[in-house]
Amino acid sequence: MATNSKAYSLPSNVSPETVANTSSLLRIVSLALISGAAIASRLFAVVNFESIIHEFDPWFNYRATRVLASKGFYAFWNWFDPTAWYPLGRVVGGTVYPGLMATSGVIYNILHALHLPVDIRNICVLLAPGFSALTAWSTYMFTKEMKDESAGLLAAAFIGIVPGYISRSVAGSYDNEAIAIFLLMFTFYCWIKALKTGSALFGTLAALFYFYMVAAWGGYAFITNMIPLHALALILMGRYSSRLYVAYSSWYAIGTLASMQVPFVGFQPVRTSEHMGALGVFGLLQIIAFAELVRSHVSSKQFQSLLYASVIGAGILGTAGIVGLTYKGWIAPWTGRFYSLWDTGYAKKYIPIIASVSEHQPTAWPSFFMDLHFLIFLFPAGVAMCFKQLRDEHVFVIIYAVVASYFAGVMVRLMLTLTPCVCVAAAVAFSSLLDTYIDPAEPNVPKEEAEATEADPGAADAPTTPKKAKKASAPPPTLGDFVGKFVVDEKKPHGIFGLNTRLAVILNALAMLVFFVLHCTWVTANAYSSPSVVLASSNPDGSQHIIDDFREAYYWLRQNTPQDAVVMSWWDYGYQIAGMADRPTLVDNNTWNNTHIATVGKAMSSSEEVAYPILRKHDVDYVLIIFGGLLGYSGDDINKFLWMVRIAQGVWPNEIQEPNYFTPRGEYRVDDQAPPAMKNSLMYKMSYYRFAELFGGQPAQDRVRGQQISKTSPTLDYLDEAFTSENWIVRIYQVRKEDLLGRDLKLANAFEAGRKRKKQKPPVRRRAIA
């Protein structure tokens, strides 16, 4: 009698073992296919362009990895690079997160031990796609703990192809994030597992992967604060258990000691405020554990309340102690980077270098859709479902969702940390939807109510098969379907009738998935696969035209200049010059020395006479600039110029003032109306030197700014044009040596050009003689 009716029949002659075996085989196959899809979709960059290292930071990582692979780990560890930050140099081994390079080095050595002579560059290029497969797997494991295997598979598929993660992990994007997201998810998985089972093994594993994460990415601070936050939330919710103690203590004690092994991190875990939260929660847990132990032996009511008071008191004392130590200077206060997360205007005011990086800008809302597509709609639903069950691990996802959503709104690059959480939550929501609608069980309608339900529009879908009679005779159901819980009237049977409702919903859901795949593929192919070292445009016939100015210029430097020729450029191009041209640079993307960068900014933004002594003092032989005015390449130095001015102004507020570079009406112009400070600046002169000649008398048009450049070219007295690439994107100028006769170079130039000094009168006399 209690048998429920089915919307469609399932084969009944299959043994449970067969079902279990088949489903586990299917899971393995699906995971393999997901990994394949994750890797394959990241290869657009290689297929469309070539196997090349992308962008800026990866060039440094690649260069460091080459040192590691060719000279060994100790040489890399002790590497002092005299060519970076000329003349200061850089202690690379102590100022780098070595995890990425070490990973590639290990893979390289393993492959070579197996007699597979793979080029180190190919390992570096393909490392990120390879690790994305591991990320998919770890997300599967993580989501499995939240709901079940099917949600895990969905989450793995989502994270495998979601653009928010692909944006930082295409082939060639050899950056720390490439391996860090896998480590992030796996550390979180170990933490959840440790918390659920109360096993020190998983706590130790979490600590080990935390160590790997610390060695790999500066974003490890996210884990350092997420796990304590979760633990604290559980304590405050009254969910303290010995499992929490075991998991957190083993993770923190081993993980913190391990994290201090990385030279770049050093003593920070015990010295800076960013890490104090974890320490505080650790201390709190010890106190609570002790109090619990005492409580289990003494049952006096009064004693227990006193115990609670003392625990709270000790907690407050501990917090006061940390605050006091911070004031006394034992513990470093929050760093500027951290403040800039809370006050989005902070960086622009106090640390322009951080604010000048485009990926540190606040996120525009369309990019949420661009990077996450329909997952962003499912995300809140998934979080709400976590609230419905609210086991310990769901609290984690909720906290993660809140914290990461905020951070993703503050900075574009932190979209990356939000993405895994969105995938997990969306997978939970989506798989709940599928579970509900694929489940063939139909709600039972009691006989007396059957007539009434018939009139109900909801029951109109009920099939009129003979089954219905059976169904109608069944007693009122107790099975609370998931969706049914949303219905207010609990007594009414709820659920889904018939096949057509099911098909309508499931087909819609599948359509969403299909659109998601199409969107991801399109975004990956068009937006995120450009190496930015090589640009692509399309010819009128639709074929691809490669613009290879960067490499052209860097190889020119490599082949036509002495090995020790110092190249000055804005810091964005430092790593590329070091990696591709192999020449010393003044500043690079490490940005550790603000003054040095400001010096370059000052040289670029002041007049030739002022800049020349700076250039000579720093032994600069060549100045390299990026100019997009001819081609319309908008990421050029004139567009970055205001940041150079701002950073220079931060150090020399009396000499460089930002308002001088705007017209009186507050416009940023490069045409005839440009202010004198702009027109005399080295950057302006180098950018537009002989630019007008290209147009042969026609008005010269700057295609980025959309302004007309004056026909008379700026003159350069202290620099010579050495090289300009095919599309004028890279222009290299040679700095002149001092005049042999001791004249000022301006005068010497004037003399050579046959121009006379204005004070001299002889022309008149000479003409008179003639």
Partner 1 sequence: MPASKTPSTSQKSSAAVASTTTKQTQQQVTGTTNAIQTLFKAYNETTSSRLKLVDAFLVFLMLSGISQFLYCILVTNFPFNAFLAGFGSNVGQFVLTASLRAQVNPENRTVFKDVSPERAFADFVLGSIVLHFFVYNFLG
Rounded CA separation 748/573 (Å): 33
- Residues in contact with partner 1, shown as a per-residue x/- string from 25 to 54 under the rule CB under 8 A: ------------------------------
Q: How many CA atoms lie within 13 A of 504 on its CB side?
A: 6
Pick 311 or 505: Cβ nearer partner 1: 311
Region from 133-141, 229-237, 284-292, 617-625 binding partner 1, contact rule CB under 8 A? 284-292
CA angle 672, 674, 678 (to 5 degrees): 130
DSSP 699: P
Q: Which of 246, 353, 534, 597 binds partner 1 (CB under 8 A)?
A: 246
> What contacts 302, CB < 8 A, 6 or more positions away?
none
Check if the beta carbon of residue 120 is closer than 8 Å to that of residue 100. Answer: no
Rounded CA separation 308/295 (Å): 10
- Closest distance to partner 1 from the beta carbon of 94 (Å): 14
Q: Which of 204, 335, 367, 713 binds partner 1 (CB under 8 A)?
A: 204
Amino acid letter, residue 430:
F
Pick 91 or 289: Cβ nearer partner 1: 289
- Residues in contact with partner 1, shown as a per-residue x/- string from 302 to 331 under the rule CB under 8 A: xx--xx-xxx-xx--xx--xx--x----xx
Q: Which of 111, 134, 200, 441 binds partner 1 (CB under 8 A)?
A: 200
Region from 20-28, 82-90, 131-139, 277-285 binding partner 1, contact rule CB under 8 A? 277-285
b or e along 727-738 (b: 16 or more beta carbons within 10 Å of the residue's beta carbon)? bbbbbbbbbbee
Rounded CA separation 332/273 (Å): 6
For residue 19, state whether it binds partner 1 (rule: CB under 8 A). no
CA proximity to 155, closest of 387, 410, 397, 389: 397
* Backbone Cα Rg of the chain: 33
What residues between 247 and 276 interact with partner 1 by CB under 8 A? 249-250, 252-254, 256-258, 260-261, 267, 270-271, 276
Q: Which of 203, 382, 495, 629 binds partner 1 (CB under 8 A)?
A: 203
Q: How many CA atoms lie within 13 A of 89 on its CB side?
A: 7
Rounded CA separation 137/131 (Å): 10
Residue 732 bridge partners (DSSP) = 624, 723
DSSP 240: -
Rounded CA separation 165/184 (Å): 13
For residue 197, state whether it binds partner 1 (rule: CB under 8 A). yes
Region from 193-201, 498-506, 612-620, 627-635 binding partner 1, contact rule CB under 8 A? 193-201
For residue 513, state whether it binds partner 1 (rule: CB under 8 A). no
Pick 20 or 323: Cβ nearer partner 1: 323
Pick 309 or 503: Cβ nearer partner 1: 309
For residue 563 the two structure tokens come to: 């090995």
- Closest distance to partner 1 from the beta carbon of 285 (Å): 9
Give the N- to C-terminal CA distance of the chain in Å, as an integer.
129
Check if the beta carbon of residue 219 is closer than 8 Å to that of residue 417. Answer: yes
> What contacts 625, CB < 8 A, 6 or more positions away?
569, 570, 637, 683, 686, 687, 730, 731, 732, 733
Pick 280 or 440: Cβ nearer partner 1: 280
For residue 279, state whether it binds partner 1 (rule: CB under 8 A). yes
Residue 626: in which H helix or E strand, if any? strand 620-626
Region from 44-52, 109-117, 191-199, 585-593 binding partner 1, contact rule CB under 8 A? 191-199
- Closest distance to partner 1 from the beta carbon of 205 (Å): 9
For residue 198, state whether it binds partner 1 (rule: CB under 8 A). yes
Q: Which of 296, 654, 712, 760 binds partner 1 (CB under 8 A)?
A: 296
Q: Which of 73, 77, 245, 556 binds partner 1 (CB under 8 A)?
A: 245
For residue 75, state whether it binds partner 1 (rule: CB under 8 A). no
What residues between 89 and 128 interact with partner 1 by CB under 8 A? none
Neighbours of 565 (CB within 10 A): 17
For residue 187, state whether it binds partner 1 (rule: CB under 8 A). no
Rounded CA separation 144/449 (Å): 40
For residue 24, state whether it binds partner 1 (rule: CB under 8 A). no
CA proximity to 185, closest of 171, 199, 165, 170: 165
Pick 287 or 748: Cβ nearer partner 1: 287
Residue 567 bridge partners (DSSP) = 585, 622
Q: Which of 241, 367, 501, 673 binds partner 1 (CB under 8 A)?
A: 241
Please classify residue 250 by burial: count the beta carbons closer than 10 Å to its beta carbon, then call 0-12 exposed, 13-18 middle and 19+ buried.
buried
Q: Which of 21, 70, 242, 698 binds partner 1 (CB under 8 A)?
A: 242
Residue 721 bridge partners (DSSP) = 733
Torsion angles phi and psi, residue 686, rounded to 5: -65, -35
Pick 247 or 401: Cβ nearer partner 1: 247
Region from 79-87, 285-293, 626-634, 723-731 binding partner 1, contact rule CB under 8 A? 285-293
Q: Which residues bind partner 1 (CB under 8 A)?
A: 197-201, 203-204, 207-208, 241-243, 245-246, 249-250, 252-254, 256-258, 260-261, 267, 270-271, 276, 279, 282-284, 286-287, 289-291, 294, 296-298, 300, 302-303, 306-307, 309-311, 313-314, 317-318, 321-322, 325, 330-331
